[in-house]
Amino acid sequence: MTKTKSKQIIRALLLVGTIISLYFVPWPILKAWIAPLPETVQQQVNKATDYGFDGIIVYIDKKDNKKEYFTSGYKNRENKTPTDPNSLFKIASVSKLYTALAITKLVTDRRLSLDKTLADYFPELVGRIENADRITLRMMVQNRSGIPNYTDTKNYWVHPKQNDKERLELVLDLPANFEPNEDFEYSNTNYLLLSQLIEKSSELTKFQYIKETILKPLNLNNTYGSIHEVDTDDVMSGYYVGYENDLKMDDNGVMLATAEDLGKFIRALNDGSVFKDKKEQEIYNSIYKYEHTGLIPGYQTIAKYHKDIDTVIIQFTNTVDFDGYNWSLSEIMYNRIVKILSEKTSHSRVDG
């Protein structure tokens, strides 16, 4: 074989390889990422449908206490109902912030101890959850227990369970994913058990305790414990790509809130006003974080405080696809909004 022919074959193979690799490029993500940054938040939010979202709500609480809302798309796509900034939204795992804070308050009141074990509080789970006698409350809050995550069980979201008893049964008698405190792995089972512990130690439902100790002091009147506690007309519809039905009536066992209520909570958590005193804040600081994301079928939430611009930004999007680029596009949307606000803040400082 001549050198010329060898080169031609190599070039052909490289061309084929390039063409094949282009097939696997995540073009929707790349397109969204490299697009020019709009001048305003509303212009960015208006791109939600281009990103594949039926509707979006963005709430911004700036350092001067000025609150702004930005929306586009539909609250309900069947009825073509425009997105309402005051809609209730299923905040999914963002509710873990409230749970961790509730645990903190019970520890402060000495009704719970972070160093006691799962076996101490739930002796009936010894032998049903591996290492129950070595898993501490602290490890559960920090997702370092090794207890398997019930939402990771096969086809969970195809046929989700309707109550905590059924959810817990999915992981009973399974081997631990790792030894206690030897690793980190996100597990909704930890927070299911913590929720039960809140009820056991407070003699209230979990949400009643959260309401009395967190929501009422902050005057948060638009946060609820479940879909059964609200007027469903106030709830933003949720959709899964390829599935036509509205998912808002699904009982996922999660809290609901307006973007403003969630934003006020995130602000209070970060400025310390939600805590009884410094000691309580120190306990919380030792076990959990100050921002969160949430994802269940039909509902994506990003809730964060940005210290450099002293701004809380909440983003709700109501279209989900676990198998696609949906979550990445949600993060790109959020990060571009943060960048727009950061650049405006920088310009204001220069002009000032």
Give the residue among 174, 203, 213, 170 at the shortest CA–CA distance from 188.
170
Measured between its terminal Cα atoms, the distance across the chain in Å is 72
pLDDT band at residue 21 using 50, 70 and 90 as cut-offs: very low
pLDDT band at residue 15 using 50, 70 and 90 as cut-offs: very low
> What would the pLDDT profile of 256-314 be if each residue is shown by its tens digit?
999 999 999 999 999 999 999 999 999 999 999 999 999 999 999 999 999 999 999 99
Give the sign of the dihedral formed by CA 289, CA 291, CA 293, CA 294.
positive
Q: Is the pLDDT of residue 32 over 90?
A: no
Q: Per DSSP, what are the bridge partners of residue 317?
A: 56, 300
Domain ranges of the chain: 38-75+86-351
Superfamily of domain 38-75+86-351: DD-peptidase/beta-lactamase superfamily (3.40.710.10)
Give the residue among 339, 315, 303 at the shortest CA–CA distance from 35.
339
- 320: Cβ contacts below 8 Å, ≥ 6 apart: 238, 239, 240, 241, 295, 296, 297, 298, 299, 300, 326, 327
Q: Does the pTM exceed 0.85?
A: yes
> What would the pLDDT profile of 245-271 be if each residue is shown by its tens digit?
999 999 888 999 999 999 999 999 999
Residue 200's SS3 state is: helix
Average pLDDT score over the chain: 91
Distance CA 344, CA 340 (A): 6
